[in-house]
């Protein structure tokens, strides 16, 4: 509710209960401004609780925790909201689902069939760190095909060939020997457990979301 809406309700009284001019009008305006601040905050809270779109900060954390997608350290609201939506709406259990997940969270990685064996192999580019790969695999556990074995490997950086060309601007490197891949141990188990209902407790500990907790 905005100020005109609040004042309209405050002034919706019989004329015998109202006075013309100050100090009555000043008193009503003062009460109206205070109520407007409260009602606008209450409206914003209701919108964030009832709809994912306008949720920010702590309320966005609540939405993410409901679906098991906690906020990463120093993650901005925009990127966190995008990650939540992508995770919840992601395709699951198919090769296109894996390819789409790689585009989102591991650009440059590829997935191929593990011929002649059963399953598939995910190959990460050389510029991804082991920590980044581990984080990706934990998130990948949500959409991978249940019961289908897979392996992970990473492209090795390779060796530099002796084809350096010396120019006045410096010595640019020659071609790289590439194609070799190194296996990566999986930080997730072979099973894919079902999603369980989650209840975020941040509302019971965050004084911003629950002012009654403020000192």
| Both structure tokens of 30 | 């003062």
Helix (H) or strand (E) holding 153: strand 150-155
Give the residue with greater pLDDT, 127 vs 194: 127
Average pLDDT in the 74-98 region?
87
In this predicted model, what pLDDT tens digit does every residue of 18-66 receive, in sequence order? 788 788 888 888 888 888 877 766 666 666 666 777 787 888 888 888 8
pTM recorded for the entire structure: 0.54
Decide: 188 and 150 in contact? Cβ < 8 Å. no
Domains contained in the chain, CATH given:
92-183 (3.30.300)
pLDDT at residue 164 above 50? no
In this predicted model, what pLDDT tens digit does every residue of 182-199 receive, in sequence order? 676 776 665 565 556 566
Instruction: Report the SS3 class of residue 74.
Output: coil
Question: What percentage of the chain exceeds 90 in pLDDT?
Answer: 3
pLDDT at residue 144 above 80? yes
| Both structure tokens of 177 | 């020997």
Decide: 126 and 109 in contact? Cβ < 8 Å. no
Q: Which long-range contacts (CB under 8 A, 24 or more apart) does 201-206 make?
A: 202/58, 202/61, 202/62, 202/65, 203/62, 206/58
């Amino acid at each position: 509710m905005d100020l005109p809406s609040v004042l309209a309700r405050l002034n919706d009284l019989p004329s015998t209960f109202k006075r013309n001019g100050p100090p009555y009008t000043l008193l009503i305006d003062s009460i109206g401004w205070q109520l407007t601040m409260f009602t606008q905050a209450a409206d914003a809270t209701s919108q964030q609780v009832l709809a994912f779109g306008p949720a920010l900060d702590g309320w966005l954390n609540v939405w993410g925790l409901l679906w098991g997608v906690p906020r990463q350290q120093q993650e901005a609201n925009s990127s966190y909201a995008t990650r939540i939506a992508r995770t919840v709406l992601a395709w699951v259990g198919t090769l296109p689902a894996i390819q789409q997940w790689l585009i989102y969270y591991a650009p440059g990685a590829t997935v191929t069939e593990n011929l002649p064996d059963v399953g598939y192999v995910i190959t990460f580019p050389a510029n991804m760190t082991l920590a980044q790969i581990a984080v990706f695999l934990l998130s990948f556990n949500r959409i991978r095909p249940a019961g289908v074995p897979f392996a992970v490997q990473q492209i090795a950086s390779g060796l530099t060939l002796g084809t350096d060309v010396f120019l006045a601007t410096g010595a640019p490197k020659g071609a790289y020997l590439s194609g070799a891949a190194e296996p990566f141990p999986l930080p997730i188990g072979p099973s894919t457990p079902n999603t369980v209902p989650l209840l975020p407790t941040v509302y019971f500990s965050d004084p911003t979301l629950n002012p009654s907790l403020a000192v």
